[in-house]
């Protein structure tokens, strides 16, 4: 440095030194404050800690209810809770519509009930009385329905499958008998010559139709799951029409004919039940909500088959004026539908035999 001249030291160097001094001062103050707080907390009375947490964190505050700010808890619903949480939609064919009691009960239910033979004597109104469904009951089963007609509709009415939506919590369904052609099969059996084998000669054709039904049934269940992914779907099987060991001919059906018709009913039920079980296993494997439950009704009318003293199935009814078989033939009687209702209400309570994965958030 030259004597007599002012210093040429950079002003930035002085500012840096000043900033460093300030930083050290802040650190010392913060450290002192921390020590002071720690010492203060050490000597606080025990009851002060919860008050401090309540004031600062809004947690653990005293009161009659749960602590403020608590999160909702996930609770697994019971089978009954799942079924009742929305709308009960009843779909299917004549075994669900009430064909067997329709002519004895012609009170209108809804649009198209007259063409579909929906009757208040069916099991559906009885199930609706047994449980309180949050979204009410929608009854759209239609006599003569096939799996294809669930998608296309009948008599110009809206397809049954479209009645199912996100708010649906329970579906009951009987389907497959018309796909297998059972009405025509039974008619051919009854109308044959007494010594003819025309009834059992239909075996190969019926077996082929039942095997095709597996694919069509899968399509139905897939669509129901897409439309109502959280619903319980209960698929109702068909009852054995004749005693396990028939003793005599009935309605021109020999003992051999009755055994064969029993066997075809068992085969149909097994095909539909296998598809339903496969679907439910997939739902459970992925821990999905809802279920597909097969309700095997094959033995449901045991002791009350056609030809027994108190049958749950109508035998042969002929319209003498038109010389044709009445549609209620070989469909459930009032007692038969009440038996179905009992089976379904018990299935609703029992569930699919595994935990439901439908979750409800409970508010504390």
Query: Mean pLDDT score of the chain, rounded to an integer?
Result: 85
- Active-site residue 331, yes or no? yes
- Which has the higher per-residue pLDDT, 171 or 18? 171
Q: 85, 94, 97, 230: which one is catalytic?
A: 94
Q: Are 40 and 144 part of one and the same domain? A: no
Domain assignment present for residue 341? The answer is yes
44 lies in some domain:
yes
44 Cβ contact list (under 8 Å, min separation 6):
52
What pTM, to 2 d.p., does this model score? 0.79
The beta strand positions in 259-362, using DSSP E, are: 291-295, 318-319, 324-325, 359-362
- What pLDDT is stored for residue 321 in this prediction? 65
Using one digit for the tens of pLDDT, what is the confidence trace for 66-81?
556 667 788 899 999 9
Q: What is the pLDDT of residues 93-132, one digit of tens each?
A: 999 999 999 876 566 567 778 889 999 999 999 999 999 9
Task: Give me the torsion for CA of 172, 177, 180, 184, rounded to 10°.
Answer: -150
Pair (108, 185) in one structural domain: yes
pLDDT score of 30 more than 70: no
Together in a domain, 183 and 42: no
Per-residue model confidence (pLDDT) at position 288: 96
Confidence at 10, pLDDT banded by 50, 70, 90: very low
Is residue 94 annotated as a catalytic residue, yes or no? Answer: yes
CA distances from 286 to 45, 111, 282 (A): 53, 39, 6
Q: What is the CATH number of the domain that holds 115?
A: 3.40.50.1110
Domain count of the fold of the chain:
2
The predicted-structure confidence for 222-232, as pLDDT tens digits, reads as follows 999 999 999 99
Residues 22 and 112 in one domain: no
* 8 Å CB contact between 180 and 264: yes
Token representation of residue 77: 């619903």
Residue of 169, 230, 331, 362 marked active site: 331
108 and 240 within one domain: yes
* 161, 151 Cβ separation under 8 angstroms: yes
Q: Which domain holds residue 42?
A: 17-60
């Amino acid at each position: 440095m030259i004597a007599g001249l002012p210093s040429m030291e950079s002003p930035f160097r002085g500012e840096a030194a000043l900033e460093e001094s300030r930083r050290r001062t802040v650190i010392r103050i913060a450290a002192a404050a921390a020590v002071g707080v720690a010492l203060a907390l050490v000597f606080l009375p025990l009851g002060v800690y919860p008050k401090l947490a309540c004031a600062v964190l809004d947690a653990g505050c005293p009161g009659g209810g749960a602590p403020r700010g608590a999160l909702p808890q996930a609770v697994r619903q019971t089978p009954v809770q799942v079924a009742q949480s929305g709308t009960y939609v009843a779909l299917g064919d004549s075994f669900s519509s009430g064909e067997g009691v329709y002519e004895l009960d012609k009170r209108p239910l809804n649009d198209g009930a007259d063409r579909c033979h929906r009757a208040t004597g069916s099991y559906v109104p009885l199930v609706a009385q047994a449980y309180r469904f949050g979204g009410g009951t929608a009854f759209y089963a239609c006599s003569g329905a096939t799996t294809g007609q669930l998608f296309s509709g009948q008599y110009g009415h809206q397809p049954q499958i479209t009645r199912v939506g996100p708010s649906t919590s329970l579906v009951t369904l009987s389907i497959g008998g018309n796909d297998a052609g059972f009405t025509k099969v039974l008619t051919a059996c009854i109308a044959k010559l007494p010594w003819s084998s025309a009834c059992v000669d239909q075996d190969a054709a019926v077996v082929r139709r039942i095997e095709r039904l597996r694919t069509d049934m899968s399509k139905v269940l897939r669509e129901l799951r897409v439309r109502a992914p959280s619903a319980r779907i209960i698929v109702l099987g068909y009852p054995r029409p004749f005693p396990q060991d028939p003793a005599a001919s009935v309605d021109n059906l020999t003992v051999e004919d009755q055994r064969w018709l029993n066997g075809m009913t068992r085969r149909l039920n097994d095909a539909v039940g296998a598809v339903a079980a496969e679907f439910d296993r997939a739902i459970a494997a992925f821990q999905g909500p809802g279920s597909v439950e097969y309700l095997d009704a094959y033995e449901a009318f045991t002791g009350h088959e056609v030809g027994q003293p108190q049958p749950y199935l109508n035998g042969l009814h002929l319209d003498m004026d038109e010389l044709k078989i009445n549609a209620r033939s070989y469909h459930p009687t009032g007692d038969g539908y009440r038996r179905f209702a009992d089976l379904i209400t018990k299935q609703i309570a029992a569930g699919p035999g595994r935990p439901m994965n439908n979750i409800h958030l409970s508010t504390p």
